[in-house]
Amino acid sequence: MKLILGALLLLVVNSSWANTQSEINHLLNYVSSTTCSYERNGSLHNGKEALAHIKKKYDYFKDDIKTTEDFIKYSATKSKMSGKYYYIQCPNKKKIKSKDWLLAELAAYRSRTN
């Protein structure tokens, strides 16, 4: 019985991580393909430049990331060195924190896939 419960738990954990990884991959693609500017420490970057930076932080914090929200928190919210938040400036829209932009896309993605 313990073996069956252990196997079921492992399936649930693996399934949960696969779903989280799918969401993270979606957000990485979303950043990469954006026409918005990504502001980091006062400098503007395009989506591909933002993606490179976020992936670098993602690799660094991978052991701390258990959820997609953790990914956003650790990899795409603010500078660990300066403490300044990252912002997104989309054409004809108000500048917003990257965290809010990514959480909104995550919610939209979840509503489409669930």
What does the H/E/C string look like for 86-113?
CEEECCCCCCEEHHHHHHHHHHHHHHHH
Dihedral angle computed from the Cα positions of residues 74, 98, 52 and 29, in that order, rounded to the nearest 10 degrees? 100
Domain region containing 32 = 21-108
- The reported pLDDT for the residue numbered 5 is 41
pTM of the model: 0.83
Query: Is there a domain that residue 8 lies in?
Result: no
Six-digit token pair at 36?
Answer: 């918005």
Query: Is there a domain that residue 96 lies in?
Result: yes
Q: How many structural domains comprise the chain?
A: 1
- The reported pLDDT for the residue numbered 114 is 78
Six-digit token pair at 13?
Answer: 């954990």
Query: Is there a domain that residue 84 lies in?
Result: yes
Q: Could you give the 3-state DSSP secondary structure of residue 85?
A: strand
**Which of 26, 55, 50 shows the shortest CA–CA distance to 38?**
50
Residues of the chain with pLDDT under 70: 1-18
